[in-house]
Amino acid sequence: MRPFTVSMNLDNINFNGNHIVRRYEDIKSIFKSTDISLEGKNPVIYEVFESPVPEQQGHLIFLVTILYPGKVNEEFFMTKGHYHTVENTAEVYLGIKGKGLILCQTKSGDFEVAEISENRVVYIPPFWAHRAVNIFDEPLIFFGIYPAHAGHDYETIAQSGFVKRVFSKNGRVVIE
Ligand code: 6PG
Ligand code: NI
């Protein structure tokens, strides 16, 4: 592979790699309840623009995630969340726009919430699952980098979830 550059222009982002789009119907099972008002519209909850890098040890995959504002009933829009399949792999997020929370947890029951916003860097150590939550009224946009061989284990989260959820209650952000 040769060195390359891509543009971070958010008005027209395209890293020439995978473009993942997750809509409400694709991921509604991650939320505590279903929301009839979203059923017909089936809005995009988030999208990910990945770099065209092989999933091989030695490489780094970089990406931009755009997590849209919104709620499923009182629960803020969020990503599916995952452990990396190769668990001993870390990840770095750099906040570009908006405000959110990165929920992090380990299989031994440890839990942590990290705030992400413009110019804030979040370090997700090896063995920590991670899920982004948009707690604001504009898109949460962040850049991420992780080892290209890490892979995604969505199954563990699908089965046991995260230990906490984030809701909007009376205009306040509530983690419970
Ligand atoms: C990764 C990153 C990140 C994440 C997206 C969407 O390992 O690829 O953590 O890019 O994939 O923010 O989140 P989900 O992969 O949990 O749907
Ligand atoms: Ni990850």
pTM of the predicted model, to two decimals?
Answer: 0.97
Is the confidence metric ipTM above 0.90 for this complex?
yes
Atom of ligand 1 nearest to the CA of 131: 16
- Phi/psi of residue 114, nearest 5 degrees: -115, 135
For residues 37 and 173, what is the distance between their CA atoms, to the nearest angstrom? Answer: 21
- Kindly report, residue by residue over 24-34, the tens digit of the pLDDT: 999 999 999 99
CATH 2.60.120.10 assigned to domain 19-175? The reply is: yes
Q: Is the CB of 130 within 6 Å of ligand 1?
A: yes
Ligand lying closest to the C-alpha of residue 62:
1
- Kindly report, residue by residue over 27-72, the tens digit of the pLDDT: 999 999 999 999 999 999 999 999 999 999 999 999 999 999 999 9
For residues 94 and 145, what is the distance between their CA atoms, to the nearest angstrom? Answer: 9
Reported as half-sphere exposure (CB side, CA atoms, 13 A), residue 80 has a value of 22
- Residue 116's pLDDT is 98
Q: From ligand 2's centre to the CA of 2, what distance in Å?
A: 25
